[in-house]
Amino acid sequence: MSTVIGGVAETEAGDGEAGISEAVDFAAVMQSDAFRRDPYPTYARMRAECPMYRAPQGVWYVTRHADVEQALGDLRLSNDRERMTGALVARDGRMRDLSRLTARLGRVMSNTDPPDHARLRGLVNKAFTARRVEELRGRIQTVVDRLVDDAVAGEGNGNGEGKGKGAEPVDLLSAVASPLPHTVVCELFGIPEADRERVKEWFRGLGRIHEDIERAERVVDEFEAYLTGLARQRRAAPGDDLISALVTAQARGDRLTDHELLSTCFMLITAGDETTTNLIGNGVLALLRHPDQLARLRAEPTLIRTAVDEIVRYDSPSQAIVRVAAEDVPLGGRTVPAGDLVYLLLASAGRDPDRHQEPDRLDLTRPAHRHLGFGHGPHFCLGAPLARLEAELAIGTLVRRLPSLRLAVPAAELQWRPNPLQRRLTALPVLYTDQKRK
């Protein structure tokens, strides 16, 4: 599971500015503050000098679009939970406790290989249809409007016209980008309003899984018991929610065991939360740092659909996907030995000049292009349509309603979390002027 791998990767490096030389340890560079602030110069040099870079620990970093795309479709690069955790434990004994925890979460489509993957994904596809996602548009817009209303009604409205206390910055991550996907997934699964704060606390506990294994195990116990109760209720009285749809698929005789049902619910509820939060936060920041593109979007609101894909390409919320070689795999002119871990750098692929013209330029009018920000091949992100829709509505509403939206601090002062698999700000403080909804 990416959460677990991300936990291993989240080791703090020194505060010094790491330099790059011909004999550089790029794995160490990726732990530096400089890389955290802006990883793209490092990716550019890796593509030019060592596009298939093997770190001393036997971990590969794949940087070119063509190689990443090929790897994502190669079933010899495995996503199987047992094979993955075995490779991680072999490199770091501290992973043993984490691997025990992930084993409890069960086998789901995100940590299996064919044929199990195709079977599990097929069952979820029946419940997670494009029609179901599109039907959420009005409800998601209502949530977005409420979140923006709450932000505007705070201590200050960002332009010095608050409740007599002066202008107060608002953190868009905590005000909009983070609560939106949490609220939407609760709607999708039919989680009662009274339970949502408790579910949010479970999310927070799982987000710090590497920091406190015992606490994470308690969270899994509680969450599993809660989902078991919901599944029991939906069997007795199915509703128009995703758990009911999964239970119905099971009742028709499809091969979804009780444990798989719980694990699939667990995975779907937690999977999209972080990525969608990062997509919205990174997207707003990209627009604020490119005022010409922000002005273009305000003038042409219909650009929002292509804008979201351009943002994913330009500053991907999912920086990398991890695989383990099930056998020796030729890739990018090298051979990845069986058992080696492979980081497929989606963010680097998005800036590859061999695939994207002027890749370091944000261009919301960029012609339709195929990026890898949501993956590729059999493991293409099932939740991509929902993430796109949430980002479209959130970013589009913020651009429309807050015409003077601007950073409250210099961009260089923004802080980023130390997880090379997910690119996320710690906060996005902004100032703004509200324009009432029409």
The pLDDT confidence band at residue 307, using thresholds 50, 70 and 90, is: very high
Task: List domains and CATH numbers for the chain.
Answer: 2-431 (1.10.630.10)
**93, two tokens:** 């004994």
Q: How many residues does the chain have?
A: 438
Q: How many helices (H) and strands (E) does the chain have?
A: 20, 10
The pLDDT confidence band at residue 185, using thresholds 50, 70 and 90, is: confident
Instruction: Kindly tell me if the per-residue pLDDT of 409 is higher than 70.
Output: yes
129 to each of 136, 372, 373, how far by Cα in Å? 11, 21, 20
As a whole number of angstroms, the distance between CA 40 and CA 350 comes to 10
- The reported pLDDT for the residue numbered 278 is 93
Instruction: Kindly tell me if the per-residue pLDDT of 139 is higher than 80.
Output: yes
Amino acid present at 90: A
- The reported pLDDT for the residue numbered 25 is 81
Instruction: Kindly tell me if the per-residue pLDDT of 162 is higher than 60.
Output: no
Adjacent-strand bridge partners of 329: 336
As a whole number of angstroms, the distance between CA 311 and CA 364 comes to 8
* CB contact at 8 A, 157 and 432: yes
As a whole number of angstroms, the distance between CA 408 and CA 395 comes to 18
Among 290, 350, 340, which residue's Cα sits nearest to residue 320? 350
